[in-house]
Each structure stands twice: as C-alpha cells, then as structure tokens.
Amino acid sequence: MRNICSKCNSFILRPMCALCLTDEVEAWLSQQKTSLVPKLKDHVMPLLERIRTQESQKCSFCLMETRYITCLYCYTKYVYDWLEQTDRELSKEFLEFFKDFLTKPKQVYA
C-alpha cells in the first residue's frame, strides 16, 4: 500500500524517507551535541529494518524511490524516546524543535 506508514498505519501526506529524516535530525543534533551523531546512526539502523516495505515509493523530499518510508511521527518519536534516555535536557530541545513532526497522525483503518 502506498503512502501508508508501515509502523502505525496512518496515511502519510508527504512521504519522506528515513534517510532524509535522519539528515534532518542529524543536522540538528550536530549543532547541539556532535558526539551523539554516530550514536544516532546506530540507533536508527534497527528502525530501518523494521520499516522496510515490499514496494518502493517515492520520497517527496529527495525524490528517490525508497523502501524506507515512515511517517514523521513514528520516526521522530523513535528518536525522541532514545534521546530522552540518553540526554534528558537535549530531548526537551528536540521536542521543541520537532514539535510539528511529533504531532500524532490520524490512523487509517483499511
């Protein structure tokens, strides 16, 4: 199914691949705490495996065909949970910066 998040089944208005999302978070993190950037990558790897879909779809950001599409919420929530345990102060900054991403999407019931 296209434009449906493989993690939470919500409809994705603007599909964005996990690599683009990682770039966004990484750009932010490297300005906050560079030492956490490699750890972020380690943390994101298992998520990529989990969200990998059968069909590829186009990322609306980098325009690449990709199998790693997730909604903004699932991705940023996943990173947020990790950051909260790693660096509580920084997780508050993250929440503030990515609050639009962290708005829970409406679920689609097929």
Residue 79 touches Zn ion, criterion: CB under 5 A: no
Using the rule CB under 5 A, which residue among 4, 17, 36, 40 binds Zn ion?
17
Residue 25 touches Zn ion, criterion: CB under 5 A: no
Q: State how far Cα 49 lies from the chain centre.
A: 13
Query: What number of chain residues touch Zn ion (CB under 5 A)?
Result: 10
Using the rule CB under 5 A, which residue among 4, 25, 47, 59 binds Zn ion?
59
Residue 62 touches Zn ion, criterion: CB under 5 A: yes
Residue 47 touches Zn ion, criterion: CB under 5 A: no
Least distance in Å: CB of 83 to Zn ion?
A: 18
Q: How far apart are CA 18 and CA 75, in angstroms?
A: 8
Give the residue from 72, 102, 63 showing the smallest Cα distance to 12: 72
Q: How far apart are CA 26 and CA 31, in angstroms?
A: 9
Q: How far apart are CA 64 and CA 106, in angstroms?
A: 26
Residue 8 touches Zn ion, criterion: CB under 5 A: yes
Least distance in Å: CB of 87 to Zn ion?
A: 24
**Token pair for 92:** 């508050």
**Token pair for 32:** 């906050």
Query: Which residues form the interface with Zn ion (CB under 5 A)?
Result: 5, 7-8, 17, 20, 59, 61-62, 71, 74
